[in-house]
Amino acid sequence: MRRSHARSRVKSSSSSKSDMDPVKFQIRSGNRASSSSLYTLTKSNSKHAKSTSLLLTVFSIAVVLGFLFVCYSILFSGGNRKGSLRYSVVIDGGSTGTRIHVFGYRIESGKPVFEFRGGNYASLKLHSGLSAYSDDPDGASLSLTELVEFAKGKIPKGMWKETEVRLMATAGMRLLELSVQEKILQVTRRVLKSSGFMFRDEWASVISGSDEGVYAWVVANFALGSLGGDPLKTTGIVELGGASAQVTFVSSEPMPPEFSRTISFGNVSYNLYSHSFLHFGQNAAHEKLWGSLVSKDQNSAVESTRQGIFTDPCAPKGYNLDTNTQKQHLSGFLAEESRFSASLQAGGNYSECRSAALTILQEGNEKCSYQHCSIGSTFTPKLQGRFLATENFFYTSKFFGLGEKSWLSHMISAGERFCGEDWSKLRVKDPSLDEEDLLRYCFSSAYIVSLLHDTLGVPLDDDERVRFANQAGDNIPLDWALGAFILQTAAEISQLTGGSSNLHWFYALFGNDSNTLRYLIGIPILITVLVYLVSKWRKPQLKTIYDLEKGRYIVTRIR
C-alpha cells in the first residue's frame, strides 16, 4: 500500500513537473530526439525571420539602385558616357555650292560641349549650289548623295540612326520661285530619308536671311567666348555672300519688329538687329551692274560714252567684253530682262567702279519709310561695337595679300592697281584662277569699300572696328551652319532638362563627368555583402540540451 501511494506521489509530482517544464519532462521520459527537435524548430523559425529580413533589405537596395539606373539611362541614353560622342549633320545649301558639316559633341553636366577640331568636325563642299538645278531638280541628288557618303565615313555606323541630318538652303534658293524650291527640296528629302540618318521632312528647308545672320552671329561670339555673356561685349557680323549680304549685331536703338530678333543662350537674352539684303551679295550686285550696262535702263549705274557703246569700269583694261560673254555671266531674271544690243568695252577705272557700286547699294533709297536706311530702302541702325567681316570680305582681302592693319584703306590702293592693270598681265600672274573669278576682284574691291565705308560708315583706318576673318578664337570656322548647330543643340538639351536649372543638380551628381552614380551603386552593395559575411562569421549555430544529471541547460556550438 505504501509503495502504491509512493508511486502515486511520484506520478503526481511528475505530472506537476510536466506542466512546469515540458522540455525536462520530454528528456526524462527518454524522448531526447523529440526535445532536440522541439528546440531546433524554435531556432529555425528565428533564423528564418532574420534571413527574410536580410533578403528584404537587399531587395529594397536593389530596387533603389534599379530606379537610379533607369533615371540615368533615360537622361543619358544614346551611348553618351564620357569619352563617347554624339553626332549631328548640317548641310548648307548655298548659292555657289553645297557644303556638309559633320559635328561631334558631348553632353557634360547637362550642357553640350562643342569642339570644332580634330575628329569632332569635318566638312566638304561641292559645286554647284542647289539653285543651279532649277531646270533639273533630280540632278541635285547626285551631289547630295556624295555629301551623305562623306558624312557616313566620319560617323560610326552604329550611330547613324541616332544622328540628325538637316539641310538648310540659303539665298540662292530664296531667289527661285516657291514651286521650284519645293521640287528641289523634295529631291533632297528623298535622298536624306534613305541616308540611314535620322531625318524628318521639315528638316530640309529654305531658311530666312535673318536666320542666316543670327546663326553667323552665334558662331562668331561662341568662338570669341562672348556667347552667354554681357550683350554689350558681343561682336557683330557683316557677311558678304554671293547672292546676299547679312548684317547682325546687338543694337540699343528702337527697331521695327521685322528687323528685331531675340535669342537666348544660357541665362542671357540678346536683342539683335538682323537682316539679309537679298540681291546685294557680291555676285548678285556684279550681275546688277552688268545688267544695267547692257540694258536701256535710264537709271543704270554706268552711262554710255556714246550711243550704243557702254564702258564697264569694273573690268580690267584689255578684257574682251562682248555681249555673249556677258550673257553667260548674267543669271535668272537679269538675263531675261537685259537687251543685248549694246557694245561694251573694259574701262578699268577703280573710282568709277566704286561709284557704280554705291549707286547699286543706294538704289531705292528714296523710298525709305524708316528713320534711317543705309542699303536700299531697308532700315539699318547705326553700327554699334566691333564687327567681323566674313566670306567674300575675307577672300578678297587674302587675294590682295592685305594685313589686318588698315586693311580697308589698303583695299582701295590694291583695287586701283588691279583694275588699272592690263588683263593679259593679270592672267599671267594668276593662271590657275578661273577667268570669271579673277575678273570679279576689281568689282569686289570697289564694292567692299563702298558697302562698309560709303554706305555703313565704317572709318577707313579704324583697325579695331571691323576685322576680316574666316576663323575666330581657337581656329573655329566662321560658318553660319556651325551657329545653327550650336543654337539648335543647346535648345534641345535645354528642353530635355526642362528649360531651366531644375535638373542641373541631377546632371552635376550623375553626369558623365561624375563618379557619384558609381559610388551610390557600388558602396551599398559592398556594405551589404560585408554585413552578410560578418554576420555569418560572428554568429555560429547553437544547440541547447538539458543535462539530467547536473540539472541544468547546456548550450553547445554546432559549427
Residue numbers belonging to the annotated binding site for ATP: 242-246
Residue 369: phi and psi, rounded to 5, are -105, 10
Annotated binding residues: 242-246
Three-state DSSP class for residue 112 = strand
* Active site annotation includes 164: no
| Count of C-beta atoms within a 10 Å radius of residue 193 | 14
Q: Residue 305: in which H helix or E strand, if any?
A: strand 304-306
Cell numbers found for residue 404: 589686318
Residue 84: phi and psi, rounded to 5, are -100, 160
Contact assessment for residue 198 and residue 163, using Cβ atoms and an 8 Å cutoff: yes
Three-state DSSP class for residue 168 = strand
From residue 340, alpha-carbon distances to 296, 315, 326 in Å are 9, 18, 9
| β-sheet with 244-250: strand ranges across | 260-265, 268-278, 244-250, 235-240, 386-391, 466-468
Q: Can you say how many angstroms the Cα of residue 143 is from the centroid of all Cα atoms in its chain?
A: 23
Interatomic CA distance for residues 312 and 158, integer angstroms: 57
Contact assessment for residue 112 and residue 493, using Cβ atoms and an 8 Å cutoff: yes
Q: Can you say how many angstroms the Cα of residue 373 is from the centroid of all Cα atoms in its chain?
A: 34
Residue 533: phi and psi, rounded to 5, are -65, -40
Contacts of 283 (CB under 8 A, 6+ apart): 95, 96, 242, 243, 440
Q: What is the DSSP letter of 207?
A: P
Q: Give the closest residue to 312 by CA, choosing from 294, 329, 325.
A: 294
Radius of gyration of the chain (CA): 41
Question: Do you find a cis peptide bond into 18, omega within 30 degrees of 0?
Answer: no
Three-state DSSP class for residue 354 = helix
Q: What is the DSSP letter of 379?
A: B
By CB atoms closer than 10 A (0-12, 13-18, 19+), residue 331 is buried
H-type helices in 256-385, by residue range? 282-294, 323-329, 333-337, 350-361
Q: Which of 212, 239, 287, 363 is catalytic?
A: 212
Q: Give the closest residue to 272 by CA, choosing from 283, 261, 264, 257.
A: 261
Q: Can you say how many angstroms the Cα of residue 121 is from the centroid of all Cα atoms in its chain?
A: 11
| Count of C-beta atoms within a 10 Å radius of residue 431 | 8
Cell numbers found for residue 486: 550650336
CB-side exposure of 510: number of CA atoms within 13 Å? Answer: 17
Q: For residue 47, give the amino acid letter.
A: K
Would you name the residues annotated as active-site residues?
212
